């Protein structure tokens, strides 16, 4: 702690420090959040559109969720500046922002400022030229056509230099890095640290939602910036235009000494952190209270607020979508598992049925006594209960019906062939003369009718088998045998008729030849 101009908060911190036992100062500085140099959502802006402790100008628009430094319209300039000059020597600013545009190329870019002057519009990314302090540029547009943009570069200025826009300031930078910061799935982050005359910029490229996913962009020693200054962010668009949105601007002061109350996780003294967190919370509550009062006084504003609720924050929407997707998956898996259970149940049923049938068949094969224990010696055997249907019977029935279907199909095919032949013959009446086709067709008809009758009889019997066990007991095998017989008979009949008709046809044609 050096020649620090102590504010009230710093005074309290100083008193706290006075009671503290000073430890050895480590390599990493101690951080303290400076809420008077910071803004972040929710309630980034107040109802009147102002951002507490900040002033925005030009085309910048403040909302509760972010600060749109420029909208994606042509030739826009906007900026936001801290109202208070810094009261600390070393600092770190975490800048969370998005640069989004529909084009593959955007313009012009966004700048972070730490300068002695403040809030002056100009040609350097929307802010004044010949600044005194630091400009850190996120330059989207490749003015010098060296295919090296988007580019991040640092350029301190003592108020004498004019920014070389045409060459993207390539000769004026003290350091830089080639990083794409446009159109990223998550906001990009830059951690700009100025500590003991070392300027370091860490960058998070917004490809993951991991807030700690930083990599080094630049580090320069012996950088001498004004001892006191203002923080600012500006942006500009040109012929091409991007939305330049700042979501968070978080400033911490850095000190070498270990403050009182131990050290928190991130090297922040926990007691101080708590105090300032409380202060910040109180401030936020105050803001919310004022908001509520405003709504009470202006009931029509409530409607507006409700309308706002229709538009959810992007991260919340992402989370909701992920949650929905997972719920859908869960439901699907539940359905599949239910189906599998059903299938397993059915399989088990089928298995038990088959086992029963198999046992019955085995018992039948062994002693014709299914499901009946052998009678004890000297006892009158219990009357056998014939099982309603046996496996071989089922097989027979199935085979018989299959054969029936096959024979019917054969018959149909034959009929089709015959009818086409008939048509063919009818088309050539001169060559065949008075062939007695009609009689053979009639004979065929009769034969088919006979088969039909037989088939219906068989089907009647097949139906009667499982329904009346008594009938089955009388003649368990006759139906099966008769089915076979019938089919054989039908087949023979068909063959005979066919052979006859073909023989007759050929004979007729042969006799024709002799005429």
* Contact residues: Ca ion, CB under 5 A: 139, 141-144, 146, 148-149, 168
How far apart are the C-alpha atoms of 254 and 235, rounded to whole Å? Answer: 27
Alpha-carbon torsion, ordered 202, 206, 207, 208, to 10 deg: 90
Q: In angstroms, what is the minimal distance from the CB of 104 to Ca ion? A: 15
Is the Cβ of residue 168 or residue 393 nearer to Ca ion in the bound state?
A: 168
| Residues 202, 217 contacting (CB under 8 angstroms) | yes
- As a whole number of angstroms, the distance between CA 327 and CA 331 comes to 6
In the complex with Ca ion, the residue whose CB is nearer, 166 or 438, is 166
Residues 127 and 78: beta-carbon distance below 8 Å: no
R_g of the chain computed on alpha carbons: 48
Q: Based on CB atoms, which residue is closest to Ca ion, 85 or 170?
A: 170
DSSP per-residue letters across 239-300:
SS--EEEEEEEEEEEEESS--SS---TTS--HHHHHHHHHHHHHHHHHHHHHHHHHHHH-HH
The dihedral of CA 471, 475, 476, 479: what is its sign? Answer: negative
Instruction: State the nearest-atom distance from the C-beta of 217 to Ca ion, in Å.
Output: 16
Q: Which is nearer to Ca ion, 117 or 168 (CB)?
A: 168
Query: Judged by CB, which is closer to Ca ion: 178, or 426?
Result: 178
Whose Cβ is closer to Ca ion: residue 218's or residue 486's? 218
Nearer to Ca ion, 145 or 510 (CB): 145
CB of 165 to Ca ion, least distance (A): 7
Answer yes or no: are the C-beta atoms of 106 and 117 closer than 8 Å.
Answer: no
| Residue 221 C-beta: closest distance to Ca ion, Å | 26
Token pair of 163, please? 């920014």
CA gap 155, 113 in Å, rounded: 10
Nearest residue to Ca ion by CB is 168
Residue number, 179 or 275, with CB nearest to Ca ion = 179
Rounded to a whole number of angstroms, the minimum distance from the CB of residue 141 to Ca ion is: 4
The least distance separating Ca ion from the CB of residue 108, rounded to whole angstroms, comes to: 6
Distance CA 194, CA 32 (A): 14
Q: How far is the CB of 144 from Ca ion (least distance, A)?
A: 4
Q: How far is the CB of 142 from Ca ion (least distance, A)?
A: 4
A 10 A CB-CB count for 411 gives 18
d(CA 232, CA 84): 11
């Amino acid at each position: 702690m050096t020649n620090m101009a102590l504010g009230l908060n710093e005074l309290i911190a100083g008193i706290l420090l006075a009671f503290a036992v000073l430890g050895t100062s480590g390599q990493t500085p101690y951080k303290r959040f400076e809420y008077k140099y910071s803004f972040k959502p929710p309630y980034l802006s107040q109802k009147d559109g102002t951002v507490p402790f900040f002033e925005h100008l030009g085309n910048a628009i403040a909302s509760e969720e972010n600060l749109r430094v420029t909208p994606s319209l042509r030739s826009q300039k906007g900026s936001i500046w801290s109202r208070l000059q810094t009261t600390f020597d070393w600092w770190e600013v975490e800048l969370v922002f998005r640069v989004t545009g529909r084009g593959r190329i955007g313009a012009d870019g966004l700048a972070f400022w730490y300068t002695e002057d403040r809030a002056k519009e100009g040609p350097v990314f929307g802010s004044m030229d010949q600044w005194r302090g630091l400009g850190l540029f996120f330059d989207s547009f490749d003015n010098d056509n060296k295919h090296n943009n988007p580019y991040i570069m640092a350029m301190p200025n003592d108020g004498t230099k004019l920014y070389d826009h045409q060459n993207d300031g390539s000769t004026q930078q003290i350091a830089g890095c080639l990083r794409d910061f446009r159109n990223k799935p998550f906001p990009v982050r830059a951690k700009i640290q100025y500590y003991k005359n070392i300027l370091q910029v860490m960058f998070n490229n917004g490809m993951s939602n991991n807030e700690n996913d930083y990599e080094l962009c630049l580090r320069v020693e012996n950088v001498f910036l004004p001892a006191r200054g203002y923080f600012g962010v500006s942006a500009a668009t040109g012929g091409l235009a991007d939305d330049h949105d700042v979501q968070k601007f978080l400033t911490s002061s850095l000190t070498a000494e270990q403050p009182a109350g131990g050290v928190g996780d991130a090297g922040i003294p926990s007691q101080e952190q708590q105090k300032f967190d409380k202060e910040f919370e109180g401030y936020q509550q105050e803001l919310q209270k004022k908001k509520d009062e405003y709504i009470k006084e202006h009931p029509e504003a409530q409607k507006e607020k409700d309308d706002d609720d229709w538009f959810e924050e992007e991260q919340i929407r992402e989370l909701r979508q992920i949650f929905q997707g997972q719920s859908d998956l869960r439901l699907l898996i539940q359905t599949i598992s239910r189906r599998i259970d059903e299938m397993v149940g059915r399989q088990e049923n089928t298995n038990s049925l088959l086992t029963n049938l198999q046992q019955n068949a085995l018992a039948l094969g062994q002693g014709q006594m299914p499901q009946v224990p052998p009678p004890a010696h000297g006892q009158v055997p219990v009357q056998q209960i014939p099982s309603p249907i046996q496996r071989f019977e089922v097989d027979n029935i199935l085979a018989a019906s299959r054969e029936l279907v096959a024979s019917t199909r054969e018959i149909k095919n034959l009929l089709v062939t015959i009818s086409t032949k008939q048509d063919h013959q009818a088309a050539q009446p001169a060559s065949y003369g008075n062939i007695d086709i009609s009689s053979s067709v009639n004979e065929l008809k009769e034969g088919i009718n006979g088969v039909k009758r037989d088939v219906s009889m068989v089907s009647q019997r097949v139906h009667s088998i499982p329904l009346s066990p008594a009938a089955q007991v009388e003649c368990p095998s006759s139906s099966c045998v008769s089915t076979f017989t019938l089919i054989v008979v039908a087949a023979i009949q068909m063959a005979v008729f066919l052979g006859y008709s073909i023989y007759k046809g050929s004979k007729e044609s042969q006799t024709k030849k002799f005429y």
